[in-house]
Structures are given as C-alpha cells and as structure tokens.
Amino acid sequence: MNVAVIGLGYIGLPTAALLATSGHRVYGYDVDARLRRSLQLGDVPTLEEPVREAALEALRSQRLQIVDRTPLAQAYILCLPTPTHEGKPDLRFVEAAAAAVAEVAEPGAIVVVESTVPPGATERIVRRALAAHGKPIEDYVVAHCPERVIPGSIMTELRNNARVVGGRIPADAEAVRELYASFCQGEIATTSIAVAEFVKIVENTFRDVNIAFANELATLAEDMGVDVWETIALANKHPRVDILQPGPGVGGHCIPVDPHFLSDANPIASELIQSARRVNDRMPFRIVRRIGELVGPGQGAKIAILGAAYKANVDDARESPTVRIDELLRDRGYETAIYDPLVKRFHRPLCETLDEAVSEADAVVLVTPHDVFREIDPAAVARSMRRPRLVDTRRFFDPARWQGCGFECYVLGRPFLQPVDAVV
C-alpha cells in the first residue's frame, strides 16, 4: 500500500520506517524543512539506535521517501503533537495536517489520526477538513489509533504493543486494523473512534494519578518517619497492588499533558484527576524546600543538578522537573549548574563535565536517574564540592556509601536527616 506519514517526530519517523520495512511504499512529510532536508541526507536525529537503524534502512532502500509536500497516497497516518496551553488542548497541528490531507486525498483513502486528542476531535477535524473541499467523510476510511510507545524503547513497542483502532464505522476500524497488522504483532482491538480517543487519555491519566499517589505517600512517609520506597516495594508484593514510584515531578509531553484533556472537558467531574496534577506539580517546590533546609538560604550557594532529561536514559528535556527545580532555585538566589551527558538541547547552557557542575557546589541534586550516573564516585565528588550534601529525588544512590564519603543526605520519601546507620 502507498502510505503517507504526516509528522516525522518521535512517533511518525519510526512508524514510517516500520511500514517501509514491512513492505509498504511510504512517503514521509513534516512541516519542518530542516528536518526533511537532514532526513533526505540520511541524517536521523534520534538518540534511539534502533530507530536510527530502521529509518536508515528504510531510506536507503527508498521504500521510505521524504517528500516536500503532502503527497497523494492510499493511506495517511497523522502523527502531530497536541500540546496544551494553560490546560487547554491545542489541536492546530492536527487541523493543519488534516486540511492538507483533505486537499489531495481521493475517495477511498484511509485517514488515521494517531495524535492524542479529546473524544470527538478526530471525526470533527477530519469531517471539517474534507468538507472544506466538498468531500463527504462517508467516502473515506477514518480512524483513530493512538500511539502507545514509551520513549527509550520505541521500535520494540511499536512492533509488539497491543493497539486500539477506533473506526468511524466498524468497516473503517477493520480496514485500519489490517493495515496495522502488517507491521504490529500485538493484539489489535477495534472499537469506535470516541472510545479509542478516551482510552488513550485514560491510560496516561491513570499513570499520573498513580504517581501522584506515590508522591503523596512520600510526603506522608517522611512525616511518619518511615521509608516510602521500602513500603511501596512491599505493598506491591500484594497480587492486586501496583503503586508507581515517587519522584521530583512528572515530566515529558504526555503524562502531565493528557489529564488536561479530561479536566478541560469537564472541570466539575474531574476532581481527582486535577488534584493528582496539583500533587505532581508541587513536587519541584517540595524538593527545593528540602534543598533550602539542607543548604540554607540562596545567597549565591551553588547547587549542582544531575539530569536535565524528563526521565532516565532519554535525551528529551520537555517538561522536565529539572526545568522547574532550576527556575525555583535561581528565583531563590542559588546558583545552579546542570549536568546531563545525554541531553543536547536545553534552554540554558549545560555543564560539559560532572566536575564542572559539582566544583565548589554546596549540594548535588539527583533529578534524572540515568544509568551513566551509576558510575559517579562520591569520594571524588566530595573533594570537588564546597560542602558535600546530596539530595536524591529517586532513591538512586546508596546513601550509606555517600554518607561514608562525608555527605549529608536527603532522600525523597525517607525520614529527613537521619543518622548514618538508620539509612542503610
């Protein structure tokens, strides 16, 4: 089949590559001319090696072609971002892509929206776009098939995750299920468009609420003088309990965003969801308060932050808790130095080396639990610092080891400032 993938970001590009290596002829289009140009030259901007390899293979075989306008194709897969601004969903990228598709698509073409959208939006946007060209939606196959992959494991999850395909009518869902079955080995369930849209938002909201629960437990545990990490690990041994992990806040472009699609649609009926958002948004403030308790007031004290990415082992810093923690610290008069060997794009300069970050620092704060940070030698860090103090927001380091090197430690969700032997 000739398939056009519109939007070549972290979902569109690997999807295009997978379709191409599964025997389809694929056209990839993105509004970003620089991205198109670099892909045309075989330069694939991604940290995930399997994505790069699959994209290069698809480009070399010419089964994937990067095109400079929305092409004529038998199927269109729309993979555009849907950000929120102050809690309001912004669907303009999807609307613009749908308008361009509607202009060229011929009757019988498949139009799939993968972007996360509020229930009802897929059909409304595609119907309007087609109508603007006098084309009735009934002449097209229209579906929503939300992406579900986790950054860091994109190719594997694209191939293997179960998918949900919501069709405007059952026959549309079935046609799109067949297309996805050509590259996805996971179970593919079919339903209506609105259910598929709701499922996607519910999945990410479930995670946000569960993390908020863990974050609230961390606060309670500190007050009660118990260890939240041990508590959660033991509670999760119950066959019907599965609590996520506390942390410095929820980042990325999905989990902190998608709950707003529900609270925006019905602010009255989404009390728990909004409250979870607030709990998670408050975490950077709590971490900064603890830093203040450990280090004293700003007045030029230097804080070294480990990690700019929103989560472990990715290069993506969007909505990262580091951004907020850094802002709050600087507002309070601290000097900050951020070190993340994975992140290439950040709104402020990052330190080139760990030593540059920790040199003369008054505290080191672990925000992102990258595997590479496991190699850090606390004794060497202590020698560089003005005064060795550690704030570990992920219970990543072994506090006994750091304390053995002279560090005063605060670990989120553990009784604060306890003696060495109690922390082991």
Q: Among all residues, which ones are annotated catalytic?
A: 200, 254
Q: Which residue in the set 204, 263, 270, 393 belongs to the binding site for ligand SAJ (CB under 6 A)? A: 204
Q: Buried b vs exposed e over 52-68: b needs ≥16 C-beta within 10 Å?
A: bebbbebbeeebbbbee
Q: Per CB under 6 A, does 254 bind ligand SAJ?
A: yes
Choose between 48 and 362: whose C-beta lies nearer to ligand SAJ: 48
C-alpha–C-alpha distance, residues 115 and 424, integer Å: 46
Choose between 39 and 154: whose C-beta lies nearer to ligand SAJ: 154
CB 365 within 8 A of CB 303: yes
Q: In whole angstroms, how close is the CB of 91 to ligand SAJ at the nearest point? A: 16
Q: In whole angstroms, how close is the CB of 150 to ligand SAJ at the nearest point? A: 4
Give Rg (Cα) of the chain: 24
Among candidates 74, 133, 149, which has minimal Cα distance to 98? 133
Choose between 244 and 338: whose C-beta lies nearer to ligand SAJ: 244
Q: Per CB under 6 A, does 250 bind ligand SAJ?
A: yes
Choose between 15 and 70: whose C-beta lies nearer to ligand SAJ: 15
Q: In whole angstroms, how close is the CB of 212 to ligand SAJ at the nearest point? A: 9
Query: According to CB under 6 A, which residues from 308 to 347 bind ligand SAJ?
Result: 310-311
Choose between 59 and 306: whose C-beta lies nearer to ligand SAJ: 306
Q: In whole angstroms, how close is the CB of 29 to ligand SAJ at the nearest point? A: 21
Choose between 14 and 399: whose C-beta lies nearer to ligand SAJ: 14
C-alpha–C-alpha distance, residues 190 and 254, integer Å: 23
Q: Which residue in the set 14, 89, 151, 413 belongs to the binding site for ligand SAJ (CB under 6 A)? A: 151
Residue 155's φ and ψ, nearest 5 degrees, are -65, -45
CB 247 within 8 A of CB 283: yes
Contact map string, positions 263 to 302, toward ligand SAJ, x by CB under 6 A: ----------------------------------------
Among candidates 316, 320, 336, which has minimal Cα distance to 328? 336
C-alpha–C-alpha distance, residues 136 and 45, integer Å: 38
Q: Which residue in the set 28, 118, 247, 378 belongs to the binding site for ligand SAJ (CB under 6 A)? A: 247
Q: In whole angstroms, how close is the CB of 30 to ligand SAJ at the nearest point? A: 18
Q: Which residue in the set 70, 190, 245, 322 belongs to the binding site for ligand SAJ (CB under 6 A)? A: 245
Name beta bridge partners: 206.
none
Query: According to CB under 6 A, which residues from 108 to 147 bind ligand SAJ?
Result: 147
Sign of the C-alpha dihedral computed for residues 159, 72, 132 and 30 taken in this order: positive
C-alpha–C-alpha distance, residues 16 and 77, integer Å: 9
CB 390 within 8 A of CB 412: no
What H or E segment, with its residue span, contains residue 50?
helix 49-60
Contacting residues for 223 by C-beta, under 8 A, at least 6 apart: none
Q: In whole angstroms, how close is the CB of 319 to ligand SAJ at the nearest point? A: 8
Contacting residues for 285 by C-beta, under 8 A, at least 6 apart: 328
Residue 332 amino acid letter: R
Query: According to CB under 6 A, which residues from 295 to 314 bind ligand SAJ?
Result: 310-311
The tokens of 127 are what? 């119907």
Q: In whole angstroms, how close is the CB of 122 to ligand SAJ at the nearest point? A: 16
Q: Per CB under 6 A, does 255 bind ligand SAJ?
A: yes
Q: Which residue in the set 124, 207, 318, 332 belongs to the binding site for ligand SAJ (CB under 6 A)? A: 207
Chain residues in the site for ligand SAJ (CB under 6 A): 147-151, 203-204, 207, 211, 244-245, 247, 250-252, 254-255, 310-311
